[in-house]
Structure 1
């Protein structure tokens, strides 16, 4: 009898431990979305001359200075290769977490963060775009230790597009 009670007690502890704990992931996502969107909208409001445009309802904003659109006809797909130079900063602190110098890496568009997938097609080869990317379209709740990038970082990317290959 004692063994049965012990087994039932252990089983109930296991079941209780497997139950929901903490914040619902959907609520957590919505809360972070609101925080990120406020950070970006406050930044844009504080920098009135920025002339930023939002990409649909994504929360990703872009800025293209006059004459920096680039040229050519480009069809972007998820398998398009893009050769870029870039600087990546945390928007709230301005801390540079990554940048290219003389080396310009080539990426497959479908393999980069969603903010880049949405923002790079706004320009053509030779173009230059600044992207303000909420954490949900950057690295999300995952810290990037190699970049010393905290979780849920809102990002500011300056991207020069050198080449596009389909």
Structure 2
């Protein structure tokens, strides 16, 4: 009798030990989106002089100061190459994780984070834009150890657009 109980206990431990106890990814996504949106809305409320506009319904906000929108007629596509100078910070701490000082890298627009894909087309060559990007449009739940960026970071980019090539 004891052996049967021991076998049943062992089997139940194995079966219940194999059951996944993770949270649904969609639930985690929505929860993080709510956190990010609150961080950005609180920041904008505390800095009410910023004239931030939202890109559609995405949660990405952009700020273009008067006279800093750039000039020209540009059609942006995923294959558009942009030459930029930028400073990237974590919105909540102000920690600068990336910055271009003396060089201006070029990127294919379709290969950069989604926040840039949505925000850069708000300006023309020569323009400057500030982007407030929720984590879901940046690196999401993935830490970027090489640049000391924690998972789920809400980002603040200052970008100057030097050139656009199609």
How high is the TM-score relative to the length of structure 1? 0.91
Q: Aligned equivalents of 1:117 and 1:22: distance in 2? A: 32
Task: Give the distance between the partners of 1:32 and 1:63, measured in 2 at CA.
Answer: 23
User: Which residue pairs with 2:157 in the alignment?
Assistant: 157
Structure 1 residue 24: deviation in Å? 1.1
Which residue pairs with 1:88 in the alignment?
A: 88
Matches within 5 A, 1:71-150: 71-150=71-150
Separation of aligned partners in 1, 2:76 and 2:154: 25
Structure 1 residue 16 displacement after superposition: 4.8
Q: Deviations over 1:22-46 (max 9, x none)?
A: 2111110010000000000000000
| Cα offset, 1:9, TM superposition | 4.0
Counterparts of 1:19 and 1:52, CA distance in 2:
46
Distance 2:19 2:114 in 1: 32
Q: How many residues align?
A: 160
Task: Return the alpha-carbon distance in structure 1 between the equivalents of residues 55 and 18 of structure 2.
Answer: 40
Q: Counterpart in 2 of 1:59?
A: 59
Cα 1:17–1:113 change in 2 (3 A) is farther
Instruction: Name the CA distance, whole Å, in 2 between partners of 1:64 and 1:152.
Output: 25
**3-state DSSP class of the match of 2:156?**
strand
Instruction: Give the Cα–Cα distance (whole angstroms) in 2 for the partners of residues 70 and 16 of structure 1.
Output: 61
- TM-score using structure 2 length: 0.91
Change in CA separation of 1:18 and 1:9 when aligned onto 2, cut-off 3 Å = closer
Q: Is there any run of 5+ residues in structure 2 with no aligned partner, and where?
A: none
2:38 aligned with 1:45, yes or no? no
Q: 1:66 to 1:28 in 2, by over 3 A?
A: same
Distance 2:83 2:18 in 1: 46
In 1, Cα distance between the equivalents of 2:130 and 2:20?
40
Aligned-CA RMSD value: 1.8
- Deviation of the 1:19 alpha carbon: 3.7
